[in-house]
């Protein structure tokens, strides 16, 4: 039996559209908690306002994952990885 992943069957345009749809389900919000030194840091929230992060403790490069970032660029980078991970999960 040959196993073909959904992502291999779909065109690049279809893959891009699916990833964009996944991306739209998240938002990057500022984390403001007066009792911490992390005011102005960023979190990624899903459509239910739950904190979103990569599955597992480490990303593909072996770096520890978190659910809060100091800069919006760092949060944006993490969101891209979350979308890629969700897309890969869908395609299996």
pLDDT in tens, 16-75: 888 999 999 999 999 877 776 667 889 999 999 998 888 877 777 777 777 888 899 999
Is residue 8 over pLDDT 60? no
Largest CA distance in the chain: 57
Instruction: Tell me what the mean pLDDT of segment 1-7 comes to.
Output: 47
Residue with tokens 């520890």: 64
The Cα–Cα gap between 52 and 86 comes to 11
Rounded to two decimals, what is the model's pTM?
A: 0.74
pLDDT of res. 13: 82
């Amino acid at each position: 039996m040959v196993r073909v992943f959904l992502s291999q069957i779909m065109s690049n345009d279809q893959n891009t559209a699916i990833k964009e749809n996944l991306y739209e389900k998240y938002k990057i919000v500022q984390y403001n908690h007066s009792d911490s030194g992390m005011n102005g840091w960023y979190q990624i929230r899903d459509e239910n306002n739950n904190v979103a992060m990569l599955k597992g403790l480490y990303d593909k490069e072996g770096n520890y994952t978190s659910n809060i970032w100091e800069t919006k660029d760092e949060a944006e980078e993490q969101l891209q990885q979350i979308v890629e991970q969700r897309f890969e999960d869908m395609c299996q």
